[in-house]
Amino acid sequence: MSPDEFRHWGREVVDWIADYMERVEAYPVAPSVEPGEIRAQLPAQPPEEGEPFDAILRDVNAILLPGVMHWQSPNFFGYFPCNNSGPSILGEMISAGLGVQGMLWATSPACTELETHVLDWLVELLDLPRHFKSDSLGGGVIQDSASSATLCAIVTARERATAGQSNQTGVVASLTAYATAQTHSSVEKGIRIAGLGSDNLRLVETDDQYRMRSDRLRQAIAADLAAGRKPCFVCATVGTTSTTAIDPLAEIGPICRQYDLWLHVDAALAGTAALCPEFRFIHEGLEWADSYCFNPHKWMFTNFDCDCFFVRDRAALTRALSVLPDYLRNKATESGKVIDYRDWQIPLGRRFRALKLWFVIRWFGAAGLKAMVREHVALAQHLARWVDSDPRFERMAPVPLNLVCFRHRGGDAATQQILDRVNGSGKAFLSHTRLRDRLALRMCIGQTHTQRRHVEAAWRLIAEAADDLHSDKPSGS
């Protein structure tokens, strides 16, 4: 593709994206396709000769678009958001155009230094502990996801607990880790990958608000010590997936410090809320954390993938993850004056992710980002009040931020019927969870373009689905 061809088709693609952003609200949020339907429309063999670009775009529209879940629809309320925005997309385009491989400072100084600077900005914007800034012993790095950040934290905790021996001889010590049943599943996956084993992950009891009980954590640690095991890692969550419950960091932290356990705090969705001073209560006790992560790609209008991972002691992280073959040696690295982010993550290679995050922060500004977060939280609080005032529904968890969990009082079957009716309509999309073994609807308000009218329309759909329930159908619970 020549530069002139690229200019032509680049304009066409930008127009396509802009058109999509304009009309995404009109699409059914969830696709109505059967398994295998998309592949059945694709040629069995790759083309022998190149095809014209307009033919490729036609197939995007005709074949792929009908099978897309429209995460960027303002009527998307499921899971947690996976946002983007105009400046983020443009930053991603420039990143792709530059094609930087930022594994070392030497392979692209701008990639490394912008990332360090933007992560320091975020320490300021979210009022995080100062030990997460790059001018301390710690610092920040962009990972692809919170799952990778958690795995890095687990591996670092493992190596600290075994004085680096696990990297040399394998995991021979009986290391134990602690989370709750509300903790994201990536923790168990990380425990498996790091060689600790699922049987050594303790699920600590939660309270009536789904928060980790610090007294039960202390008991679990004591029991493992008494049995000759070596506790090494705790994952506390600020904004759990099911309910956005906030574990009591101020109680968990001192316990971790007493027993020399690595405390990782996962704030994947909720961390963005700390842009606003009035929501910084979510981070009370964060000063105890050894590592922390949140995802701008969830609620900070930056397209996937972009997780910000901070550590108190970057030397502990790099000792656990660094492998330096001769072909990567260079004067800058040996000078000790630069950061080589390859040592802060699992893969060697890395993209120029900081560019899109830089674009977003500069375009919106701190004031613009705060205004968006406040609007979403306010809409969730309105929804919570509507749920509380409707006798057919009951709220299942507190609403500290932008997620509302509720169910129909008729039971699981009635709640499932409402979920199926709303999602089947294509006019909105919700997801579900189970709380105290009861089915609950989850409605998360955080999509970039969601406004009050979208939330009101979704609530009308839910209410209409409840109106249409047949009283003679089984309740299911």
What pairing do the DSSP bridges indicate for beta strands 262-266 and 230-237? Answer: parallel
Mention every residue, 6+ apart, whose C-beta is less than 8 A from residue 3: none
- pLDDT tens digits, one per residue of 33-74: 999 999 999 999 999 999 999 999 999 999 999 999 999 999
Tokens read off for 57? 């775009």
Task: Mark whether 72 and 142 lie in a shared domain.
Answer: no
Domain boundary among 322, 351, 380: 351
Task: Mark whether 63 and 122 lie in a shared domain.
Answer: no
Mean pLDDT of the chain: 95
Q: Determine, yes or no, domain membership for 88.
A: no
Task: Mark whether 419 and 305 lie in a shared domain.
Answer: no
Continuous segment of H or E residues that includes residue 398: none
| CATH number of residue 418's parent domain | 3.90.1150.10
Q: How far apart are CA 354 and CA 126, in angstroms?
A: 17
- pLDDT tens digits, one per residue of 370-379: 999 999 999 9
Q: How far is the first Cα of the chain from the last one, in angstroms, to the nearest whole number?
A: 61
- pLDDT tens digits, one per residue of 268-323: 999 999 999 999 999 999 999 999 999 999 999 999 999 999 999 999 999 999 99
Task: Mark whether 175 and 285 lie in a shared domain.
Answer: yes
- pLDDT tens digits, one per residue of 422-454: 999 999 999 999 999 999 999 999 999 999 999
Q: Determine, yes or no, domain membership for 207.
A: yes
Residue pair 394/406 in contact (Cβ under 8 Å)? The answer is: yes
Task: Mark whether 202 and 265 lie in a shared domain.
Answer: yes
Task: Mark whether 196 and 345 lie in a shared domain.
Answer: yes
Mention every residue, 6+ apart, whose C-beta is less than 8 A from residue 223: none
**pLDDT value at position 196?**
95
Q: How far is CA 56 from CA 10, 61, 113, in A?
A: 13, 9, 37
Query: Among residues of the chain, what percentage have pLDDT more than 70?
Result: 98
Residue range 199-205: average pLDDT? 97
Residue range 227-241: average pLDDT? 97
Tokens read off for 303? 């397209």
- pLDDT tens digits, one per residue of 309-364: 999 999 999 999 999 888 889 998 889 888 999 999 999 999 999 999 999 999 99
Please tell me whether residue 409 adopts helix, strand or coil conformation: coil
How many domains in the chain? 3
Task: Mark whether 115 and 175 lie in a shared domain.
Answer: yes
Task: Mark whether 342 and 378 lie in a shared domain.
Answer: no
Task: Mark whether 377 and 338 lie in a shared domain.
Answer: no
Beta strands across the sheet bearing 431-435: 393-395, 403-408, 438-444, 431-435
Is 249 a residue whose pLDDT tops 60?
Answer: yes
**DSSP, res 336:** T
Residue 7 domain boundaries: 3-77
Q: What is the pTM of this model?
A: 0.94
Q: Determine, yes or no, domain membership for 92.
A: no
